[in-house]
Structure 1
Amino acid sequence: MAETTTGTTEGVTLEHTPTWIVAVVCSVIVAISLAVERILHYTGKYLKKKNQKPLSEALQKVKEELMLLGFISLLLTVFQVRIAKICMPPSWAVHMLPCKKETSATTTAGETTAHYQTSFSSFVFGTGRRLLSSSTDSGYCENKEKVPLLSTEALHHLHIFIFVLAIVHVTFCVLTILFGGAKIRQWKHWEDSISKDKYDPDEVLKPKVTNVRQHAFIRDHFLGMGRNSAVLGWLHSFVKQFYGSVTKSDYMTLRLGFIRTHCRGNPKFNFHKYMIRCLEADFKKVVGISWYLWIFVVIFLLVNINGWHTYFWIAFIPFILLLAVGTKLEHVITQLAHEVAEKHVAIEGDLIVQPKDAHFWFSRPRIVLFLIHIILFQNSFEIAFFFWIWVQYGFDSCIMGQVGYIIPRLVIGAFIQVLCSYSTLPLYAIVTQMGSSFNKAIFDEHIQEKVVGWHQKARRNKGLRAAANGSSNVGSTDGSTVGIQLGKVTQKESAMEEGKAQAVEPSST
């Protein structure tokens, strides 16, 4: 009788499971879930208390991803038995395999290895489904002389992979933003020196003539004129992203160009604080897993075929994209320097660059953020896949591949994470401000809310007047009303915070 009980332990249902075991397991699961929920809740309250709305929205995005992950988990759990009972002809199961089909000579060894790996997986992830219903599912299809579409065990492994991918992606994005933000905060002493002692923006208005090529910004980026200058410019941009991607002369010149274009009425505008707000606002877009990224996951899983070494070659996609993005961002700075140097020999006043969208791919600076999103996700996919295979099947698994392919993938992944954090992301934060328009983060949070409120009120008034008068000749009300009220609010808030009536007067082109 004892032998029978031991042999059927894996198949015991709740009807014959001690209630104290059920209660303990449920208590542990509920306690962990509530702890995570409370941590996220209090983190959100703390961010709101500190007026960190962009980071609060990013946290909300993480909650949405966790909810999506939970729904995927629910679907896989509910339909796992039904999926395992979908049968197909055996000939369909021998194509596009990630590993070679084991021969009869190696079946015993394969079964031993599979048993060890399943036991290790059960210890790490708490899985015990392999013996629970795999025999039943295979027997169901064997009776029809077919094979299951996807076994319960394979379905559960896929479930774990999706979970690991989501966690690794969110973790890597957070680390990238933290390290990149730390690098950008090192520029704060430049902002302080510019706005206080070492640099007075009012000096811009004083007439002084200087040779353009004597400026440090031009010396660092202007490589002469002619056909070779374009090639040298790209090579210089490629190399510069690896060291000193943003210098003090770069920061001072780009900051002044932004202020003279978008905030001409406030020469002491805090450009550094504005960049931080923009970066925090963009974080919520980077941390999520968009629908097209899930398509990438499906494609990557599809082409994981034995002998193709797919994941080795895929590792080069984010690597090449990252180098291209970093080179392009550096080249935008070089283009700004060349524009000034080619047009002027000497200038009156300080060196002013002209921000415009034409310097970016397809005249759209936001494409850079889209590419960074893809880079971080693909790199996360590589690392998550590696650790999932290592824990689930072992380092010697055929899916893992040869050591000669594994080591370069890990090196490339680490290189991407470091370069993106300390070079590409800071470059993105400052260079994308060199577009023709500015980000709404240029205003403080309370000013943004009032501007949006006036804009909505103006649109409602426009609709009411059009309905009352039977005409649409009230188009000027929208823009003019918002502009007038924006000027009043900006002036009022600036007077309250800085003690003087000097407002931000942006002019988007």
Structure 2
Amino acid sequence: MAGGEGEGTSLEFTPTWVVAAVCTLIVGISLAVERLLHYAGKKLKKAGQKPLFEALQKIKEELMLLGFISLLLTVFQSRIIKICVKESVMEHLLPCSLRDREEATGSKPEAEGTSHLLRHLLAEEATATGYCASKGGKVPLLSLEALHHLHIFIFVLAVVHVTFSVLTVVFGGARIRQWKHWEDSIAKVNFDTSQVLKPRVTHVKDHDFIRNRFVGIGKGSAIRGWLHSFFKQFYGSVTKSDYVALRLGFITTHCKANPKFNFHKYMIRALEDDFRKVVGISWYLWVFVVVFLLLNINGWHTYFWIAFFPFILLLAVGTKLEHIIIQLAHEVAEKHIAIEGELVVQPSDDHFWFHRPRIVLFLIHFILFQNAFEIAFFFWIWVTYGFDSCIMGQVRYIIPRLIIGVFIQVLCSYSTLPLYALVTQMGTHFKKSIFDEHMQAKFVGWAQNAKKKVATNAGTNGSSHDGPSGSGGSAGAGAATAATSAFKGIQLAKLNQSQQS
């Protein structure tokens, strides 16, 4: 038989019906998944959910990347397993000890005797081992079985990450949608003319928002504030008084012309827009995977200690977001004793790390990926090597990892993500999600036309010798002024339109 008995039967001697049946099954599954994603994309576009549609496109990109990785591993596997190195190089930085390897090697023939796939892998590895042995007693750099397991791990990691990200945003979005009745109650008050026009003076420290968030003045107030922020993220992270105060601060700063602006709808759109970044696996996340695989050394228990990193980071993010609300309350309480009308906070980037609210999104992205990595790594080892494998570790290290993983997923979904959706609106600038997709497209098209006109006018005036000097600059300044006016007009039109809808 071609290729030898140990290597199995090649396609030359495989029945055509077997080849056709296997190809039909694989192609059928692939087409079904592709059609499902395509249908989901059409439904999202029809519903006007462009951010979620783009998130779906991001998932398809990840699947395409996985397919390309699979293709590379398959095409070059015969060459990879023939990369030969000295045997002493393979005895350092091992996930399991040499004794564990000897025990696994001793028990391997019995397990392989029942699996045709493992016999096939053993035959190819034997060929690679013989090839490297002929090169002066060397050994393969990576065995075919290890390459196959690495391939499965990359696929499992990507699938688990995408799944966990979707679940986090779905549950977090459901939590945020529960705040809609707060928005509706505020809208009813705004439509009640007698309530709006009724003059009133409010003692600041008697206000619900200040009373719940103000922790006093003095040397210990900062410490009490951080402790209050730390524990607040575990229960009632956002109250109605928080929502009302932050909403009013946003509208007063960015939408003063439209006090009836639907803040809740804007916040949902902003969260959906950010979801596109959360669901992707960026290059720096793959770097983290490589670093972890490098440090997964026997006796270090890296898989255990690294589980605390996203846990601590998530607590830090939640505490920071809660503390920003306290800072906003303190600013009002320190400036005023009593106010006429509503209590208004002042949004500012100064409250965020390095004055950049977007850093919080980056950290949440990293936390979700690292947590998904921990869970994916656990299940991959369990399915591939078994629960008693040396790479799995001891039970006293496994249980805490799983508990931390579940805790991170729940806390991020029901506390941290809703906090992020609300508190990051307290930056100096609003997000482009304040406009719907139709208005965004119009504005981008108008801006491009305005740039072309400015360039054309500047070129015409620069080449003209009859006009006064500096006319090109005047044209550019006029175009810039027109651009600013048009932008403000579009913004006010959008705000009024959103309220009418």
TM-score for the superposition, normalised by structure 1: 0.91
1:17 aligns with 2:8: no
Assess, with a 3 A threshold, how the Cα gap between structure 1 residues 314 and 475 changes in structure 2: closer, same or farther: farther
Unaligned runs of at least 5 residues, structure 2: 463-471
After TM superposition, the structure 1 = structure 2 runs for residues 76-91 of structure 1, keeping only pairs within 5 Å, are 76-91=73-88
The alignment partner of 1:102 has SS state of helix
Q: CA, structure 1 residues 272+344, in 2 after alignment: closer, same or farther (shift >3 Å)?
A: same
Q: For 1:132 and 1:33, how far apart are their aligned partners in 2?
A: 30
The equivalent residue for 1:53 is 50
1:454 maps onto 2:446 in alignment: yes
3-state SS, counterpart of residue 244 of structure 1: coil
Asked if the contact 2:156/2:380 (under 8 Å) is kept, the reply is yes
Please tell me whether residue 100 in structure 1 is matched to residue 97 in structure 2: yes
- For 2:240, the aligned partner's letter is K
Q: Alignment partner of 1:210: what SS?
A: strand
Q: Any conservation in 2 of the 1:202–1:267 contact (CA below 8 Å)?
A: no
Whether contact under 8 Å (2:258, 2:496) holds in the other structure is no
Deviations 1:398-424 (A, max 9, x none): 110000000000000000000000000
1:137 aligns with 2:128: yes
Quote the offset at 1:445 in angstroms. Answer: 1.4
Counterpart amino acid of residue 459 in structure 1: K
Query: Corresponding residue for 2:477?
Result: 476
Distance in structure 2 (CA, Å) of the matches to 1:289 and 1:185: 27
Cα displacement (A) at 1:92? 0.3
1:236-282 Cα deviation digits (max 9, x unpaired): 00000000000000000000000000000111111000010000000
- CA deviation map 1:271-296 (0-9, x unaligned): 00001000000000010000000000
**Alpha-carbon offset, residue 464 of structure 1:** 1.2
Q: Is the partner of 1:227 in helix, strand or coil?
A: coil
CA distance in 1, matches of 2:119, 2:57: 33
What CA distance in whole angstroms lies between the structure 2 residues aligned with 1:143 and 1:370? 50
TM alignment of 1:388-407, pairs within 5 A: 388-407=380-399
- Return closer, same or farther for 1:494/1:350 CA change in 2, 3 Å cut-off: closer
Q: What residue identity is the alignment partner of 1:407? A: I
Instruction: Give the Cα–Cα distance (whole angstroms) in 1 for the partners of residues 416 and 145 of structure 2.
Output: 41
Query: 1:265-414 maps to which residues of 2 (within 5 A)?
Result: 265-414=257-406
Note the C-alpha offset of 1:479. Answer: 4.2
- Per the TM alignment, residue 209 of structure 1 is displaced from its structure 2 partner at its CA by 1.5
> Post-superposition shift, 1:106?
3.5
Q: Which runs of 5+ in 1 are unaligned?
A: 501-509
Q: Following TM superposition, by how much is the alpha carbon of 1:348 offset from its aligned partner in structure 2, in angstroms?
A: 1.0
Residues 61-109 of structure 1: per-residue CA shift (max 9 Å, x gap): 1111111111111111100110000000111000000001137973664
Residue 496 of structure 1, CA deviation: 6.6
Q: Is the 8 A contact 1:80 1:152 kept in 2?
A: yes
Tell me, yes or no, if the aligned pair for 1:194 and 1:200 is still in contact at 8 Å: no
* Identity rate, percent: 68
Please identify, of 142-151 and 362-371, the stretch whose mean Cα deviation from structure 2 is larger: 142-151
Cα contact 1:312–1:405 (8 A) shared by 2: yes
Q: CA RMSD in A?
A: 2.3
- Pair 403,184 (structure 1): closer, same or farther in 2 beyond 3 Å: same
SS in 1 for 2:339: strand
Contact 2:190/2:260 (CA < 8 Å) preserved in 1?
no
Structure 2 residue matching 1:141: 3-state secondary structure: helix
Q: Is the 2:258–2:495 Cα contact (8 Å) retained in structure 1?
A: no
Alpha-carbon offset, residue 111 of structure 1: 1.7
User: Partner amino acid for 1:15?
Assistant: E
Show the counterpart of 1:504: none
More displaced 10-residue stretch of structure 1: 126-135 or 170-179: 126-135
Q: Provide the C-alpha distance between the structure 1 equivalents of 2:39 and 2:200, rounded to a whole number of angstroms.
A: 55
Pick one of 175, 182, 191 that aligns with 2:167.
175
- Evaluate the alpha carbon distance shift between residue 364 and residue 114 of structure 1 in structure 2; reply closer, same or farther with a 3 A threshold: farther
1:427 aligns with 2:424: no
Q: What SS class does the counterpart of residue 400 from structure 1 fall into? A: coil
Q: CA deviation at 1:11?
A: 2.0
- 2:217 paired with 1:216: no
SS across alignment from 1:347: strand
Structure 1 residues 196-235: aligned runs within 5 Å: 196-197=188-189, 207-235=199-227
Alpha-carbon spacing, 1:166–1:128, altered in 2? closer, same or farther (3 Å): farther
Q: Is the 8 A contact 2:248 2:344 kept in 1?
A: yes
Q: Hey, what's the Cα distance between the residues in 2 that align with 1:96 and 1:342?
A: 58
Change (3 A) 1:25 1:477: farther
Residues in 1 aligned to 2:432 and 2:163: alpha-carbon distance in whole angstroms: 27
Q: Distance in 1 between matches of 2:419 and 2:283?
A: 27
CA distance in 1, matches of 2:347, 2:312: 27
Aligned length: 490
**Residue in 2 that maps onto 1:188:** 180
